[in-house]
Amino acid sequence: MTAQQEDDFKSGYAKLRRKEGGARRYYNRLMKAPLLRRCPYCYDRQVSEIDHYLPRSSFARLAVVPLNLVPLCHGCNKQKLNYAPSPSRPPLLHPYFDFAESEQWIGSSLDEDNFVTTFYVNVPAPWDEDTRKRVENHFEVMKLGQFWSGSAAVYFSTVWARLLRIYRASGVFAVQDYLLEEAELVVEGHAEPWKFALLMAWAESEWFCECRWRGLIMVELELLLDDDY
């Protein structure tokens, strides 16, 4: 391909992104493609832009091919950069062709000593070796474990008071039942798949369901009050 042809393909993509002009409607249609407008790379944040699944720096001919244009969030776009598969690096999961959110491949565990929730790839038994490697690579490249651990901490900050109220009123099994019910609702409502793994990990922890973390919460609240005065 000549340099001129490469410029033509890239210029076609620039037209697609412009807010004025007929091509913009295709851009808008792509932005509406993900379920609940959720980023298909991290399954958490809202999509905010379009990126090339295969980078246009290496695959200029695919610059305006719809199947190579995927909506994603700004954070994942920065993390992904110009990632391209190679013999030693499998391709990332493709939002249009791969199962990603349709199967639960995310596992989670709770480190009770440090009160940190971690995430990992939990491969379903029927998966073949190539699929496992692709998912593990996607998880690593996109730094999903670190990101979801942060999201778990934010989520906990919104539910700890309710969990503590349930525990004081009805005990440990009521907390566990609440977490399991929330996990079911995540599945039924097609919510974030990492949250299902998180809730299951919490529900399986007697330490968590007994709200033994409440001492840590009280310490943090006292520190915040000290900062205010």
Instruction: Give the pLDDT confidence score for residue 141 in this predicted structure.
Output: 96
Q: What is the pLDDT of residue 64?
A: 78
114 in a domain, yes or no?
Answer: yes
Do residues 73 and 149 share a domain? no
Where is average pLDDT lowest: 6-15, 17-26, 54-63, 106-115?
A: 6-15
Q: How many domains, the chain?
A: 2
pLDDT digits (tens, 9 = 90+) for 153-168: 999 999 999 999 999 9
Domain-located, residue 136 = yes
Do 210 and 170 fall into the same domain? yes
Q: Which of 64, 80, 96 is the last residue of a domain?
A: 80
Does residue 131 surpass a pLDDT of 90?
A: no
Q: For 195-225, what is each residue's pLDDT tens digit?
A: 999 999 999 999 999 999 988 877 555 444 4
106 confidence band (pLDDT: 50, 70, 90): very high
The strand ranges marked E within the chain are: 49-52, 69-72, 106-111, 116-121
The parent domain of residue 185 ranges over: 106-228
Q: Tell which wins on pLDDT, 176 or 12.
A: 176
Supply the pTM of this predicted model.
0.82
Cα dihedral 209→212→214→220 (10° resolution):
-120
- Give me the pLDDT at residue 135, please: 93
What is the widest separation between alpha-carbon atoms in the chain?
Answer: 72
Q: Clarify whether residues 64 and 155 are in a common domain.
A: no
Range 19-35 average pLDDT? 73
DSSP 8-state secondary structure symbol assigned to residue 34: S
First to last CA, the chain: 67
| Confidence band for 113, pLDDT divided at 50, 70 and 90 | very high
**Whether 206 and 115 share a structural domain:** yes
Binned at pLDDT 50, 70 and 90, residue 101 comes out as low
- What the block records as the tokens of 23 is 């091509």
Nearest-angstrom CA–CA distance, 39 and 35:
9
The residues with which 209 forms a beta bridge, in sequence order, are none
Side-chain-facing half-sphere of 177: CA atoms under 13 Å:
7
Q: Are residues 222 and 115 in the same domain?
A: yes
